[in-house]
């Protein structure tokens, strides 16, 4: 039995981690914190968890209670994770952070994109980016894993094979990404209210969204990234445009994706246009690509569940690799439909 702690378990990503751990053959949650919900039963806040966690109560965080655990997930704001991680790394088997606190390898980028100074160069250098399809080898035995953002996961999966294969230019890439409201978290915000979101699609973070340097780091290319909020509970669709670096066709692009992701358990490459509904509740990413001869443009698309593969599911997948477990354990490849 692998003893698990979830720090920040009362948020949406925490609730999803509880769900995934409940169906995992090796993970057992023994410590779940939620400072704003301390004393609240998980089943009262999230009735969907009642059958598996009828008596689990969210606690306040105390580092001593986490010490000695095999695996700890951090579902906290960026600076909060950065404050707690040094207290845990080396005292637990593996720390998997769902914030951006350890994603960017260049510490100088944090003040401009995130508004805080990163003062832990050693941990930043040690942290492994938690996208197994791109960093599986480095994840084995990792003590600190930085789970990527949902937009970053989709865009990187769509574009990394094409950049690495020399199929597209590495400047001027455009990414339009549509996501569901759960990506904004459980906190009460005007932009997340039903009357604000319903029947509306809104672009945000114009020109300066903080996921931009993370995407550029992972694919090794310059991007113009624009996220859009849509009236969905869960789901993310990234549509990416680039200029070809050499002669390509739709067939060669699909073949490149298919070869790059050969035997990847959570990747589907298809001629069909991906849809968010197909990924609902699963850890699978659906990909396709096209070449438009008329405009000499490459288009690559990726659909994921933003809370599953784009957050908690991706975190569990990375933890499985880091701890030497079966990579697919506890994770569904099949979306819920209808």
Beta-bridge mates of residue 145: 96, 128
Helix (H) or strand (E) holding 251: helix 250-260
- Cβ atoms 290, 231 nearer than 8 A: no
Residue 150 is among the residues annotated as catalytic for this protein: yes
- The distance in angstroms from the start CA to the end CA of the chain is 35
The closest alpha carbon to 250, from 267, 221, 272, belongs to: 272
Q: What does the alpha-carbon distance between residue 222 and residue 140 come to, in Å, rounded to a whole number?
A: 29
* b/e code 29-39 from CB counts within 10 Å (16+ = b): bbbbbbeebee
- Cβ atoms 323, 24 nearer than 8 A: no
CA 332 to chain centroid, in Å, comes to 16
The closest alpha carbon to 162, from 236, 225, 237, 221, belongs to: 221
Q: Which of 21, 150, 240, 302 is catalytic?
A: 150
Enumerate the active-site residues: 150
């Amino acid at each position: 039995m692998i003893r698990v702690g979830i720090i920040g378990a009362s948020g949406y990503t925490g609730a999803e981690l509880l769900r995934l751990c409940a169906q995992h053959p090796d993970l057992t949650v023994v410590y779940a914190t939620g400072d704003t919900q301390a004393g609240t039963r998980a089943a009262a806040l999230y009735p969907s968890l009642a059958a598996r966690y009828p008596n689990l109560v969210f606690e306040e965080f105390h580092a001593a209670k986490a010490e000695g655990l095999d695996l700890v997930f951090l579902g906290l704001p960026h600076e909060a994770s950065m404050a707690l991680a040094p207290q845990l790394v080396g005292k637990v088997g593996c720390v998997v952070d769902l914030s951006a606190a350890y994603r960017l390898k260049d510490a100088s980028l944090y003040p401009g994109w995130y508004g805080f100074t990163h003062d832990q160069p050693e941990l930043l250098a040690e942290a492994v980016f938690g996208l197994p399809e791109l960093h599986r080898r480095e994840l084995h035995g990792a003590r600190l894993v930085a789970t990527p953002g949902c937009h970053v996961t989709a865009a990187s999966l769509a574009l990394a094979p094409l950049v690495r294969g020399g199929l597209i230019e590495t400047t001027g890439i455009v990414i339009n990404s549509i996501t569901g409201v759960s990506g904004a978290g459980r906190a009460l915000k005007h932009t997340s209210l039903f009357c604000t979101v319903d029947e509306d699609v809104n672009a945000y973070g114009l020109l300066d969204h903080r996921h931009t340097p993370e995407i550029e780091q992972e694919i090794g290319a310059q991007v113009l990234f624009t996220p859009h909020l849509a009236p969905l509970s869960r789901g993310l669709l990234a549509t990416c445009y680039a200029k070809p670096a050499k002669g390509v066709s739709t067939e060669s692009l699909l073949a490149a994706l298919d070869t790059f992701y050969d035997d990847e358990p959570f990747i589907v490459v298809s001629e069909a246009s991906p849809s968010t509904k197909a990924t609902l509740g699963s850890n699978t990413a659906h990909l396709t690509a096209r070449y438009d001869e008329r405009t000499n443009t490459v288009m690559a698309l990726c659909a994921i569940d933003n809370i599953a593969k784009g957050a908690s599911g991706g975190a569990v997948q990375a933890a499985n690799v880091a701890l030497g477990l079966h990579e697919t354990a506890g994770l569904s490849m099949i979306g819920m439909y209808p």
